Amino acid sequence: MSTGNSPSGFDDAFPEEDLVLPDDLRDELARPLGDIVQENALDALLEGSERVIGVGDVVTVTLLRRGIEPDVAVFDYRTRRANADAMKDLVGRMSGVLVRVENPPGMITRALWRAVRDAARGTERVRIEVAGEEDLASLVAIATAPAGAHVIYGLPQQGLAVVRVDVSTRAFAVAAIRRMRR
């Protein structure tokens, strides 16, 4: 994946094969890239954001309950590996286009890549329902969203990580993606 002329400076090209998270990268990604914040800090942090992208069921529901409808929501109706049926009603009432993709745990598939990239760069509100696991969608969003966008994802037992997309955060995401096995 070379640097290209995309708005993010990251080439749209995707490798021939889906990407697999190597074990040595798991610990690195378990640490927050952005600031860990409390729910009540979201309003001020997201004010004036270029685009708000929520990754995960708890994050999506937290945003919605605070009256913040994310521009992009990526979810799998599972939280901590348990079904999140109670969340379906709230997420289902969200406006926007619904896109469904399959993405096994510990992977970034072509389908997830395209859905997140296109939604992050677009102007429409998009809900991406993942059959499998959505955790690594945050890397795709950070790598491909426009500068000034905010990507929010959850870290178990820690809280909400809020990442403002800029040169530094994009470089981290791109480097992590390049380290994934093909």
Tell me the pLDDT tens digit for each residue of 6-53: 544 555 566 678 999 998 898 888 888 888 999 999 999 999 898 999
Tell me how many domains the chain contains. 1
4: in domain: no
pLDDT of residue 92: 83
Residue type, 145: A
Whether residue 130 is contained in a domain is answered as yes
**Position 1 in a domain:** no
Length of the chain equals 182
Radius of gyration of the chain (CA): 15
Rounded CA gap, 42 and 36, in Å?
11
On whether residue 6 sits in a domain, the answer given is no
Which range of residues forms the domain containing residue 43? 19-179
CB neighbours (10 Å) of residue 166?
12
Determine how many CB atoms are found less than 10 A away from the CB of residue 41.
14
Q: What's at 36, amino acid-wise?
A: I
Task: Identify whether 140 is part of a domain.
Answer: yes
pLDDT of residue 89: 82
For 142-159, write each residue's pLDDT tens digit: 999 999 999 999 988 888
Residue 119 lies in a domain: yes
pLDDT at 31: 85
Give a yes or no: residue 2 inside a domain: no
Average pLDDT, the chain: 88
Residues 67-119: pLDDT tens digits?
999 999 999 988 765 556 667 888 888 999 999 999 999 999 999 999 999 99
Q: Is the pTM of this model over 0.75?
A: yes
Residue 8 lies in a domain: no
